[in-house]
Structure 1
Amino acid sequence: MHGTSPKTLRQNLLKQRTTFVAEENYAQIQACFMDHVNQLLTEEGKSWQSIALYWPIQDEIDLRSTLLTWAQNAPNRNLALPFAREDKHLDFYLWRQGNQLHPSKHGVPEPVPNDPKRPPVNPDCILIPCVGWTSSTSDGNRQYWRLGYGGGYFDRTLAQLRKQNPKLVCIGIGFDWQQLDDSQWSAQTHDEPLDILLTESGLKR
């Protein structure tokens, strides 16, 4: 990090996102985004039985309706939402439209653990919202990295889940303008890479 602290950078990006979603052409950008989400689900969603999504906050792109359609189009498909544990890891629980949720200490609606109607889920794919993102190249391979809200929940969780399921697919959800350069932010050793980054311009692998 050079010049700007991570906290200030996050604050600036969140303010910019609020302005961005209020612009007149945002509906068109949303439509493009959903087209790419549907493309992803058509190409790869057939091999997934469970997708962990996020409950949108602070002007994050809302994917719920598209994912509900995906889940309803075939038997045995499930959606899951994260629950934030005290040790700053995430567990995922079955979610269906209309299920009651409770706010976490961060104000994010989340499922309640130990509900027999909503058992834990080990997702095949996890969708993760980005506050910002960057890319790097190592040995000729490009990787994408997520700047989140600073709690480290997803990084800890992904590190553990990838040991249990090497085929787990982690997809960052963001906008093109959120891309950062090395003078603004670069991934740290504890940061977990994304398998795919999805923006309004398409899929980045």
Structure 2
Amino acid sequence: MPKASYQVHPLPQTDLNARATLRKSLRAARKRLSSEASMAASLGIIDNLQKLAWLEKPSCVAVYLENDGEVDLQPFVEHCWHRFPKIFFTLPVLHPVCKGHLLFLQYNKDTLMVQNKYKISEPRLACQDVIPTSDVDVILMPLVGFDKQGNRLGMGGGYYDRTLAFTKHSNKKPVLIGIAHDFQEVNALPTAPWDVPLDAIVTPTRILRF
């Protein structure tokens, strides 16, 4: 069903072009960050994520591994492994059957990792480690751009939007939090019918709730 929604409601070419232009410029800005600035961003994210109430209770949290200049969440994960042992982490894995979708697998210090087709590390697929998406309490999502309405611009593959399409019609759904550098904010994003809105966005200096 999520795949069909992409086909039934195409975007006007002008909006597609606008999204592509934004994606290109914002990705370039991310890649220009120095290692010092990237580390400072990660530390700022740790501080702000600790202000959110879900860290105070046992939670299953999906994170991601940094790629293409994204804010690196690994320092936050390692911080939680030491300070918040009740937080249970998962990582996205490319779905082996449903093309364009994600699975979420357990992630801990002993997780065996492999590289996917995008050269991004992910847990080695094992059925016993799969966590149903509806059982994940919080998903920390990477993004390329965002606006103050909670709209998210991703890398263009649509993986998160397809996987999370069920959240538009379900009472049991994860809290969706975008993780971004401050400079990734734009005045208004051209949106698409398949976009899944965020519940919050956390940057190194701010928490935006929607």
TM-score range, shorter chain: 0.7 to 0.9
| Contact 1:102/1:109 (8 A) holds in 2 | yes
Distance 1:164 1:113, change over 3 A: farther
| Contact 2:55/2:87 (8 A) holds in 1 | no
Q: Which residue of 1 aligns with 2:28?
A: 15
Between the aligned partners of 1:146 and 1:60, the Cα distance in structure 2 is: 14
Structure 1 stretches of 4+ moved >6 Å: none
Q: Which residue of 1 aligns with 2:131?
A: 120
Q: 2:197 aligns with which of 180, 193, 199?
A: 193
| Contact 1:134/1:186 (8 A) holds in 2 | no
Between the aligned partners of 2:183 and 2:84, the Cα distance in structure 1 is: 35
Q: 2:115 aligns with which of 83, 88, 103?
A: 103
Could you say what secondary structure the match of 2:72 adopts? Answer: coil
Distance 1:204 1:48, change over 3 A: farther
Matched residues, percent identical? 28
Which residue identity lines up with residue 93 of structure 1 in the other structure? L
Show the 5 A alignment for 1:27-176: 27-40=39-52, 43-73=53-83, 76-85=86-95, 86-114=98-126, 116=128, 118-121=129-132, 122-136=135-149, 144-161=150-167, 163=169, 166-176=172-182
Which residue identity lines up with residue 80 of structure 2 in the other structure? W
Distance 1:201 1:92, change over 3 A: same
Q: 57-66 or 29-38, which moves further after superposition?
A: 29-38
Number of corresponding residues: 192
| Contact 2:60/2:90 (8 A) holds in 1 | yes
Between the aligned partners of 1:29 and 1:188, the Cα distance in structure 2 is: 29
Which residue identity lines up with residue 128 of structure 1 in the other structure? M
Between the aligned partners of 1:88 and 1:26, the Cα distance in structure 2 is: 29
Q: Which residue of 1 aligns with 2:19?
A: 6
Could you say what secondary structure the match of 2:51 adopts? Answer: helix
More helix by share: 2
Which residue identity lines up with residue 148 of structure 2 in the other structure? S
Could you say what secondary structure the match of 1:110 adopts? Answer: strand
Could you say what secondary structure the match of 2:131 adopts? Answer: coil
Deviation at 1:93, TM superposition (A): 0.6
Could you say what secondary structure the match of 1:151 adopts? Answer: coil
Distance 1:156 1:66, change over 3 A: same
Distance 1:135 1:74, change over 3 A: closer
Pairwise CA RMSD: 2.5
Q: Which residue of 2 aligns with 1:141?
A: none
